[in-house]
Amino acid sequence: MKPIYLDYNATTPIDPEVAAAMLPCIREHFGNPSSAHVYGVEARRIVEEARGQVASLLGCSPGEVLFTSGGTESNNHAVKGAARALRRRGNHIVTSAVEHPAVMEVCRALSAEGFEVSVIPVDATGLVDLAALERAIGDRTVLVSVMHANNEVGTIQPVAEIARLARRRGVLVHTDAAQTVGKIPVDAADLGVDLLTVAGHKLYAPKGVGALYIREGVRLETFMHGAGHEAGRRAGTENVIGIAGLGAACEAARRDLDGNRSGCGRPGTGCRTACCAPSRACASTVTPNNGCRTR
């Protein structure tokens, strides 16, 4: 008997629609998006279409979307890039006690570079102590990084409120939204964040691709040096296959999000197909923890 897979926080299977979007890139559109000839132009078109699809889901402009190799890289780029870019202004970072290692370990590495890190505790339900967070923000604070939803217990943090507190003090805000993008509405402007992490394999795209929302005007230290890919922000030939998959996954999420959230599995509630199919994790309501995204 095939075991039933329920660990959608760890990873999700590639959606057939996502696989279909990737297939032409595997079979024929192998060009380098930086090439000027017809093969390159087609690859560039695919990358930019996907950028638009990610931007639509996040409610931002395509120029604010940077493609990365996944959640870990996006978090590294956001936290190190912001902290180092603002080093002259201050050396203090605020984060929470329940961050994924892809933020926690980055903060640890930065503390070895001379940054001070305040780790804000959470209550019994995993919610960040807002009063403690506000108290922790000081004159030397350059970044607040608090995840959107926790990968172990699913607690959704009040990121919009955190962003208001931080931005009142002129402090940049990053949120690791690896567990929420594609599962609940995530609008970068509504959240008021400057930086937001997307991990492809948590929303039915392949592993090894992700994105970082960088609010227009926010400058990060260059993370990957090399040629001028991604508008000079991340060197390296784009992962066209993965990017096409991420774009398709974001497109599907944007189209289906409301239906998926309105009472999955119950007749007449907007859940259009069998979310209880063997490859799906299903619960009666969709939370970041049960990973259901049905069509």
Contact positions vs ligand PLP (CB under 6 A): 70-72, 75, 100, 102, 147, 151, 176, 178-179, 199, 201, 210
Contact status, residue 292 vs residue 260, Cβ threshold 8 Å: yes
Please give the residue whose beta carbon sits closest to ligand PLP in the complex.
71
- Which helix (H) or strand (E) segment holds residue 92: the answer is strand 92-96
Sign of CA dihedral 69, 75, 76, 79: positive
State the minimum distance, in angstroms, from the CB of residue 138 to ligand PLP.
26
What is the nearest approach in angstroms of ligand PLP to the Cβ of residue 105?
11
Residue number, 250 or 271, with CB nearest to ligand PLP:
250
**Which one, 14 or 147, has the nearer CB to ligand PLP?**
147
> Do you know the residue count of the chain?
295
Say how far apart CA 90 and CA 87 lie, in whole Å. Answer: 5
Least distance CB 202 / ligand PLP (angstroms): 7
Q: Smallest distance, Å, CB 168 to ligand PLP?
A: 26
Instruction: Evaluate whether 43 touches 32 at the Cβ level (below 8 Å).
Output: yes
Cβ-contact 22, 245 below 8 angstroms: yes
Asked whether the beta carbons of 64 and 90 are under 8 A apart, the reply is no
Closest CA to 231 of 79, 90, 91, 44: 44
CB 178 to ligand PLP: min, Å: 4
Q: What's the angle, vertex CA 285, arms to CA 127 and CA 155, rounded to 5?
A: 10
Distance CA 192, CA 166 (A): 10
By beta-carbon proximity to ligand PLP, the closer residue of 100 and 234 is 100
Nearer to ligand PLP, 166 or 196 (CB): 196
Residue 291 beta carbon to ligand PLP: minimum distance, rounded to whole angstroms: 11
Residue 56, H or E segment? helix 38-58
Nearer Cβ to ligand PLP (24/154): 154
Q: Which is nearer to ligand PLP, 203 or 271 (CB)?
A: 203
